[in-house]
A and B are shown apart, each in its own frame.
Chain A
Amino acid sequence: MRETDAWLPDLAPPPGGLARLRDGVRAQGRHRRVAWFAGAAVAIVAVMLALALFPGWLQRYRVRGEWAEVVRQAVQSPSPGRLRMIDGAAVALESGQAGVRLYLVQPVRGSRASSQR
């Protein structure tokens, strides 16, 4: 018998601890699934609200896309006669080199007509 046995008798823990832990582990799994679905729902609602409340963002995104398209076409079209502008304008600049054509391109917001130059 140890010296401390008299001071520190062994106590039995109340029953039901392991069952409580099992319930807790199961409940945590359920809570995690609920939290995941709730998070997804909140994210979807947030995106829809953003699209509804900030339509200007969509417009700017579209203009940026058109500007990229103009640049792509300008690069792919070596002849100035085949340069096609969509909602934009281009000015030929002096490149200083015979084999290089240089353009300043700018999309024009609100203009729907396409131009063939």
Chain B
Amino acid sequence: MLREEALYASYRRLERSLYNVLYRQLWQAEDCQDVIHDTYMRLWERRAKVDEATLDPLVWTTALNLARNRLRWCRLWRHAPLEEAAELSVADDAEDFLATRRLRAALRDLPPASRDVLLLSHFSDLRGADIAQVLGIPAGTVASRKHHAMERLKALLGDDHA
């Protein structure tokens, strides 16, 4: 049974890392906020079945699923994202703006599972086994997927950031 205080504590604990991971998938601040909000509301609706001990991995799984659904919905209805507006809020000058665009293109070219492993490894406090559980992949493949994603990013971004 999930208590209200535990829900808020998890929100305070994970909001920043959730936002950073989701932003690299949705590239819209408002969309990220909505997904985080919807994630916690959904878990609150099912609070009778939620175990507080496994709340954080469940938050990650739910948030990533909702983000995928939102991307699918956008593709289905051909909603074009407002790239410049979103990215300018992150990168103030033109050089950073262009770098963000390149990063976005590079992340888009990664296999989804590898990209998620990279983002979760970087932003979340989850261990390899937890990342595997959240993404539904074998635990033994987390390190190799992360390595593969890093190599791909280096190749795609060149020496700009390395």
Contact surface of A with B, Cβ cutoff 8 Å: 2-4, 6-8, 10-14, 17-18, 20-22, 24-25, 28
Contacts and interface: CB of A to CB of B under 8 A. Distances in A.
Interface string B2-25: 001001100110011001100110
25 contacts: A3-B162, A4-B153, A7-B103, A7-B157, A8-B20, A8-B24, A8-B119, A10-B16, A11-B20, A11-B90, A12-B16, A12-B19, A13-B19, A13-B29, A14-B33, A17-B33, A17-B36, A17-B37, A18-B8, A21-B8, A21-B37, A24-B41, A24-B44, A25-B4, A25-B7
Nearest to B96: A9
Contacts of B7: 21, 25
B41 A4 contact: no
B110 to A, nearest CB: 12
A20 to B, nearest CB: 6
Nearest to A23: B37
Contacts of A14: 29, 33
**SS of B interface (majority):** helix
A12 B20 CA distance: 8
A18 B11 contact: yes
Interface string B26-39: 00010011001100
B37 A24 contact: yes
B123 to A, nearest CB: 7
Given A10-B20, A11-B23, A22-B8, A2 B122 contact: yes
A22 B16 CA distance: 17
Contacts of B8: 18, 21-22
A63 B2 CA distance: 52
Interface string B72-100: 00000000000000000010000000000
B162 A6 contact: yes
9 smallest CB-CB distances across A and B, nearest first, come from A13-B19, A6-B161, A4-B122, A7-B161, A24-B41, A8-B122, A21-B40, A11-B20, A13-B15
B158 to A, nearest CB: 12
A12 B122 CA distance: 15
B2 to A, nearest CB: 11
Given A21-B11, A25-B4, A13 B153 contact: no
A11 to B, nearest CB: 5
A24 to B, nearest CB: 5
